[in-house]
Structure 1
Amino acid sequence: MTWSTADIPDLTGQRALVTGATSGLGYETAKVLLQHGAEVVLAARNPEKTAEAARRLTVETHRVPITVELDLADLASVQRAAAEVADRYDALDVLVNNAGVMATPYRQTMDGFELQIGTNHLGHFALTARLMPLLRKGRVVTVSSFMHKSASGIRELDLRLPASGYSKWPQYSRSKLANLLFMFELGRRVPSVLSVGAHPGYASTHLQAAGPELAGAKLQARIWQGINLFAQSAAAGAWPSLYAATRPDLQQGAYVGPSFFEYRGAPKLVQATRAAQNAELARELWAWSVEATDVDPALSVRS
């Protein structure tokens, strides 16, 4: 299949929110959406970096994005960010749940959850719930990873995994499995909203080096930066997300990744693992997530 960003339709009048839009995949996703006429909200943790990203995007696209401070590792911040968006808009057309952390040293979120699950899944679960009244019949794109394939399941314990049971790569894989379980279950519970997923393959972003940097492992961070020389660009890595966000004929639960062995190239529909499509596990994760965040996307849809 051949596809390029030139195939994206005119998005004038559309409103999109992209998390983690200060660099990498999120930045490239926001840029292309702006170039095609959408009004874009950049939601990210660091206000200075977000302001700089907005400045650069304005220069590159001649369109001015909106900025919102959002820390997905803090449920109070998620609530504030969603309220700020709701004060500005009465509707959103697209939510791109893109932000994330990868293979970090053991940390907890502000609410006591393991950082990777708390940020990658629970933060986006809560954000989606709080923005659901604005989405109505819109689209939610949840960004996962081919690393979800190495996770055979997820337990309630993994949400508050103690340091003694922590291994950074298996936990990252579980967080990406959680993304897909959520994506599929959202489509089942809220069929008026199109819930789809995407993964970037292997793209050159700062994400790979961020974990080692957080741990103070400078050599390991430099090694990751060197490995990234063989990856596709962040712009190409954003193609599956853009395809998922804008393709008019996608069906509920569509999952998009790169065409060349899911590693790089033009986007296409790809297959999630059996674990990711486990409806019973998805229902369990949904219940655990509602209890953890005190919000339920299925109960937040405005009639």
Structure 2
Amino acid sequence: MGNTLSEFQKKLPALGQIYPPKSKFSVDQIPDLTGRVVIVTGGNTGLGYETVKALLQHNAKVYLAARSKEKAEKAISSLKEATGKEAIFHELDLSDLAAVKKSAGHFLSKEKELHVLYNNAGVMWPPIEMLTKDGHDLQFGAKTSPDQHARVIVVSSSGAYAETLHWGTFKDSPERRKLSTQSLYYQSKHANVIVARQIAKRYADKGIVAISLNPGNITTDLQRYVPPLASKIMSTILLYPAPQGALTQLFAGTMPEALNYNGEYMIPWARLGKCRPECYNDEIGERLWKWLEDEVKPYRT
């Protein structure tokens, strides 16, 4: 009984984020971003699209990172019509580490600086058989400036409260197959918060600010694997439009106040919050960081 109550208490903050108070922040408050170079992963749809749109409206140079050139170019055309500004397609397949390395090299051949990285792309509840090219669980794997700071914005979810890390499930294994695809999704979002905090701890002295966040319950393509009936119910009583969902990450990536939130977790809409206590456990964070470093070691030379 005690353990059950303890778990419920850890998940309780997520319930308070389902229907947030009216936002005090709007895209009109974003400062001029002339000279800022930004990458938005998954920028062709949903929260990513709305984030790119707002950044273009405030004069940022935006690389729209996506796997599909066709989908990206369609989004870029739509964004140009809406803003008069043109995003730049940047090919990036987050499910293939070799492709990620190639993509990073391509970006560095064109730009000397990156001021904001939005780790926005994600996938929710895909079939259990779907893995990255390197054999990782798909949901787990698809994971200097004028103010003298660069920002890394990591889009998590309220699902970060629902699970912790199951160390034997990051790659395909009998243990992974015992978990539901929902649990694997929540685990990946929990890991996002831990990783953002580790980036903040390890690179603060180099001027990097890392913030993770729950964007809220939003209507996007993320729900493409949700069963139709559940999707309909969610859309009716739980979900907000994508422009609303982009507010918190736009605040984190553009507003001067957010420079004080290094290593923190934000909640809808553009408010400072706290995730589960496990996310702030240094032993867990260091263990996860080492595991991630070992996985990418073959691609670092």
TM superposition score normalised by structure 2: 0.84
1:255 and 2:265 are equivalent in the alignment: yes
1:198 match: 213
8 Å CA contact 1:243–1:256 kept in 2: the answer is: no
Is 1:276 the counterpart of 2:279? The answer is yes
- Give the aligned partner of residue 80 of structure 2: 58
Q: Match of 1:126?
A: none
Q: 1:239, CA displacement in angstroms?
A: 0.5
1:118 is matched with: 141
Q: Note the alpha carbon deviations across 1:53-110, whole angstroms, 9 max, x for none.
A: 1111111111111101111111111112111111110001000000001111111110
Q: CA offsets, 1:222-257, max 9 Å, x none?
A: 641453244211000010110110121222113222
**Cα distance in 1, alignment partners of residues 33 and 236 from structure 2:** 33
**Could you tell me which of 234, 237, 240 is aligned with 1:232?**
240
1:33-112 matches, cutoff 5 A: 33-106=55-128, 107-112=130-135
**Structure 1 position 154 matched with structure 2 position 165:** yes
* Conservation of the 8 A alpha-carbon contact between 1:205 and 1:228: no
Once residues 294 and 26 of structure 1 are traced to their aligned partners in structure 2, the CA distance between those partners, rounded to angstroms, is 29
Alpha-carbon offset, residue 295 of structure 1: 7.4
State the SS of the aligned residue for 1:68. Answer: strand
Counterpart position of 1:183: 196
Q: Does 1:241 align with 2:249?
A: yes
Q: Distance in 1 between matches of 2:31 and 2:149?
A: 18
Work out the CA distance in 2 between the residues paired with 1:184 and 1:174. Answer: 16
Output the CA distance in 1 between the equivalents of 2:36 and 2:263.
22
| Percentage identity across paired residues of the two chains | 34
Deviation, 1:149, is: 0.3
Partner amino acid, structure 2, of 1:193? I
Q: Deviations over 1:240-275 (max 9, x none)?
A: 1101101212221132221xxxxxxx3211111101
Distance change (3 Å), C-alpha of 1:280 and 1:295: farther
Shift in Å, 1:201: 1.0
Letter in 2 for 1:267: A
The Cα of 1:286 is off from its aligned counterpart by 0.2
Change (3 A) 1:244 1:89: same
1:287 is aligned to 2:290: yes
Kept in 2: contact 1:156–1:288 (CA 8 A): no
Larger deviation: 193-202 or 225-234?
A: 225-234
Tell me which residue corresponds to 2:225.
211
Contact 1:204 1:229 in 2 (8 A): no
Report the equivalent of 2:184. Answer: 171
Matches of 1:26 and 1:38 in 2, distance apart?
Answer: 15
Structure 2 residue ranges without an equivalent (≥5): 1-22
SS in structure 2 at match of 1:53: helix
What is the RMSD computed on CA atoms of the aligned residues? Answer: 2.0
Identify unmatched segments of 5+ residues in structure 1.
121-131, 213-219, 259-265
Q: Which residue number corresponds to residue 263 of structure 1?
A: none
- Paired with 1:138 and 1:295, the residues of 2 have a C-alpha distance of 26
Q: Alignment partner of 1:91: what SS? A: coil
* Matching residue's letter, 2:150: G
Matching of residue 20 in structure 1 with residue 23 in structure 2: no
| Structure 1 residues 295 and 18: alpha-carbon distance in aligned structure 2, compared to 1, 3 A threshold | farther
Distance between the aligned counterparts of 2:171 and 2:196, measured in 1? 21
